[in-house]
Structure 1
Amino acid sequence: MTPSTLVGGHVFVAGGLAKGGLKYAGDIGAEVIQVFVTNPRGWALSAGDPSEDAKLRESGVPVFLHAAYLVNFGSPTAATLDNSVAVVRHTLRRGVETGARGVVVHTGSAVSQPREDALRQVREHVLPLLDELPDDGPDLLLEPMAGQGQMLCATVQELGPYLEALEGHPKVGVCLDTCHAFSAGHDLASPEGVRETFDALGELAPGRLKLIHANDSKDACGSKKDRHENIGSGHIGAQAFGEIMRHPVAAGVPVCIETPGKVEAHRQDIETLKKLRGA
Structure 2
Amino acid sequence: MTSLSLIGGHVSVTGGLAKGGLRSAADIGAEMIQVFVTNPRGWALAAGDPAQDELLRASGTVTFVHAPYLVNLGTPSADTLEKSVATVRHGLLRSAAIGARGLVVHTGSAVSQTREEALRQLRERLLPLLEELPDDGPDLLLEPMAGQGGMLCATVQELEPYLAALDWHPKAGVCLDTCHAFAAGHDLSTADGVRETLDRLHALAPGRLRLIHANDSKDVCGSKKDRHENIGAGHIGAEAFAELMRHPAAAGIPLCIETPGGADKHREDIELLKKLRDGL
| Correspondence for 1:170 | 170
Give me the whole-angstrom Cα distance separating, in 1, the residues matched to 2:68 and 2:202.
27
| Correspondence for 1:65 | 65
Unpaired segments ≥5 residues, structure 1: none
Give me the whole-angstrom Cα distance separating, in 2, the residues matched to 1:5 and 1:227.
24
Q: How does 1:54-203 map to 2 (within 5 A)?
A: 54-203=54-203
2:253 is paired with a residue whose SS is coil
Give me the whole-angstrom Cα distance separating, in 2, the residues matched to 1:47 and 1:261.
29
Give me the whole-angstrom Cα distance separating, in 1, the residues matched to 2:4 and 2:247.
14
1:187 is paired with a residue whose SS is coil
Offset of residue 4 of structure 1:
3.2
| Correspondence for 1:254 | 254
| Correspondence for 1:11 | 11
1:2-28 CA-partner distances (Å, limit 9, x unpaired): 343100000011100000000000010
| Correspondence for 1:205 | 205
1:146-202 CA-partner distances (Å, limit 9, x unpaired): 000010000000000000000000101000000000000000000010011000000
1:219-278 CA-partner distances (Å, limit 9, x unpaired): 000000000000000000000000000001001000000000111000000000000111
Aligned pair count?
Answer: 279
1:267 is paired with a residue whose SS is helix
1:173 is paired with a residue whose SS is strand
| Correspondence for 2:30 | 30
Give me the whole-angstrom Cα distance separating, in 2, the residues matched to 1:175 and 1:96.
18
Give me the whole-angstrom Cα distance separating, in 1, the residues matched to 2:55 and 2:258.
23
Give me the whole-angstrom Cα distance separating, in 2, the residues matched to 1:50 and 1:268.
33
User: One-letter code of the match for 1:49?
Assistant: D
1:21-59 CA-partner distances (Å, limit 9, x unpaired): 000000100000000001111111001100000010011
* 2:233 matches 1:230: no
User: One-letter code of the match for 1:132?
Assistant: E
User: One-letter code of the match for 1:124?
Assistant: E
Give me the whole-angstrom Cα distance separating, in 2, the residues matched to 1:77 and 1:276.
45
**TM-score using structure 2 length:** 0.99
Give me the whole-angstrom Cα distance separating, in 1, the residues matched to 2:60 and 2:83.
32
Give me the whole-angstrom Cα distance separating, in 1, the residues matched to 2:155 and 2:96.
30
Give me the whole-angstrom Cα distance separating, in 2, the residues matched to 1:96 and 1:150.
32
User: One-letter code of the match for 1:133?
Assistant: L
User: One-letter code of the match for 1:165?
Assistant: A
Instruction: Judge conservation of contact 2:4–2:277 (CA < 8 Å) in 1.
Output: no
Q: RMSD of the TM alignment (CA)?
A: 0.8
1:64 is paired with a residue whose SS is strand
